[in-house]
Amino acid sequence: MKLSLRRFLSFCLPALCYFVSNNCMFYIIKDLGPTTFQILNNLKVLFTGMLMFVFLGRKLSWLRWKALILLVIGSMVTQLEADSSLSAGTRSGYFFVLLNSAAAGAGGVMSELLLKGGKSVGDVAAAESIHWQNCQLYFFGLLFGMISLLTKQNSDVEHPLAGFNFWALCTVVSLTMCGLMVSFILKYLDNFAKCFVQAVSMILVAVGHASTTHQHSIPLRIGLGIALVCLAIEQYSLPQATA
């Protein structure tokens, strides 16, 4: 566990991307609604693919690009309901959708580079403990959050934890564990694996919701989404030579 100032400061970039992405979520939900956010949030999969090509030189065959597109469509389908549709929001709302997708994709790509290592920093990153890497990353995440909190003028809030109840704290703990597990995925697999994991988790949530609401059968949208995601996983797993 060694501290290099240059490498330590490099964790500032992905932390800033995640900070921007997390805040965009609230603006999108406020302007477009939660359903539209859940649907359009899947666009970050395509941004991730493009940024992986630009920054990491990860070239994908056309077969795998089709698999990612199927993954996006399948994830979107699971979020549709009989009475839901894309909300007619403002231009700023859709701007935040694009900004959120780009920031989330960039944050994931840069995190993978720092956690796993590239040609220039591969030996350093491979030897570092993933927990030490997470400490450096989340230090800047905490720093950006505190700066935002201190510069926000809101006389109604007495302290940062005002309004937090048991379920809010449970949500924080849950998201913290998810963030740590994503770090393991990025270090030992890659961003594409993260995209497929998120799609599968989305389907599990949809199936769980359907079962808890006492529905006698799985809704068509969930069945179609499961089929598309499974097809995407199968297509992506085929050898590159078959493309």
CB 1 within 8 A of CB 132: yes
Q: What pTM did the predictor assign?
A: 0.83
Q: What range does the domain containing 181 cover?
A: 5-148+166-242
Alpha carbon distances (Å) from 168 to 40, 129, 163, 178: 25, 30, 9, 15
- The whole-number pLDDT of residue 163 equals 78
Q: Is residue 19 part of a domain?
A: yes
Identify which of 39, 50, 95, 98 has the alpha carbon closest to the alpha carbon of residue 72.
39
Query: Which tens digits make up the pLDDT trace of 103-122?
Result: 999 999 999 999 987 655 55
Q: Is residue 154 part of a domain?
A: no
**Amino acid code (one letter) for 112:** E
Burial of 239 (0-12, 13-18, 19+ CB in 10 A): exposed
Kindly state whether residue 46 falls inside one of the protein's structural domains. yes
Per-residue model confidence as pLDDT tens digits over 1-44: 778 899 999 999 999 999 999 999 989 988 888 777 878 888 89
Overall domain count for the chain:
1
Per residue in 49-89, pLDDT (tens digit) is 999 998 888 888 899 999 999 999 988 887 776 555 555 56
CB 48 within 8 A of CB 109: yes
Angle of CA points 105, 142, 52, to nearest 5°: 15
User: Quick one: 226 exposed, middle or buried, by C-beta within 10 A (0-12, 13-18, 19+)?
Assistant: buried
Residue 235 lies in a domain: yes
**For the chain, where are the alpha helices, taking DSSP H only?**
5-10, 12-32, 34-40, 44-56, 62-79, 91-116, 122-127, 130-151, 166-188, 191-212, 220-237
Note whether residue 160 is domain-resident.
no
Residue 159 within any structural domain of the chain: no
Note whether residue 58 is domain-resident: yes
